[in-house]
Structure 1
Amino acid sequence: MNLHPISCEQHDYLEIACLYGYQVKLTLKDQQSIEGKALNIVTADKREFLVIDNDEKLSIELTQLAKMQVLTANAKFSAVIF
């Protein structure tokens, strides 16, 4: 388990994605790829998770993110590398 938190700037991009309900493609550090609508950031057991909806709600630990690409047209940004 990676205990290194993401930067505040990276966290801001996740919050923007949730605020606008962007469709995103997440690439995890294990190279797994997940697509869905960014919903929220939640904290549980002193860890933060991005909640996305891809026909079911999934919680992805923020420390597992490698890249987030925004699939929504005319978004405020296109990608973030973690």
Structure 2
Amino acid sequence: MHTYQPLNCDLHDFLEIACLRGYVLNVEQIDGQRLIARAVTTRTASSKEEFMVFEQDGHSVELRLDQLLAITPLDDHAEFGRIVFSEAVCRF
């Protein structure tokens, strides 16, 4: 896997909303894979890499945030639609 690139700061809000609401998401990854899973939380590793934690069929699945291409909530009354992640990064 390539060197971690932090996610655009503005896009973190959508991930936080998805976790707080427990949305089921259609997750598109940059390698073309897809995942349908419930958003649980985000976490930051000691290496400063950030991950999204999902629940799928009773199992925990983690994806590094820079591997996300787009997320689409599948819940009827979601607060947002499809969100596409960009190359812009947030540096602290």
| Structure 1 alignment gaps of length 5 or more | none
Instruction: Give the number of aligned pairs.
Output: 82
In the other structure, the counterpart of 1:61 is 64
Pairs within 5 Å for 1:70-81: 70-81=73-84
Runs of 4+ in 1 over 6 A off after TM superposition: none
Among 50, 53, 69, the alignment partner of 2:52 is 50
In the other structure, the counterpart of 1:40 is 41
Contact 1:2 1:64 in 2 (8 A): no
| Structure 2 alignment gaps of length 5 or more | 86-92
TM-score, length of structure 1 as denominator length: 0.95
Q: Which has the larger radius of gyration?
A: 2
Q: What do you get for the CA RMSD once the two structures are aligned?
A: 0.9
Aligned mates of 2:4, 2:23 — CA distance in 1: 27
- Cα pair distance change 1:11/1:46, threshold 3 Å: same
Aligned mates of 1:60, 1:2 — CA distance in 2: 14
**Seq. identity, %:** 35
Aligned mates of 2:70, 2:53 — CA distance in 1: 15
Structure scoring higher RCO (CA < 8 A, sep ≥ 6) equals: 2
Aligned mates of 1:46, 1:23 — CA distance in 2: 26
Contact 2:28 2:35 in 1 (8 A): yes
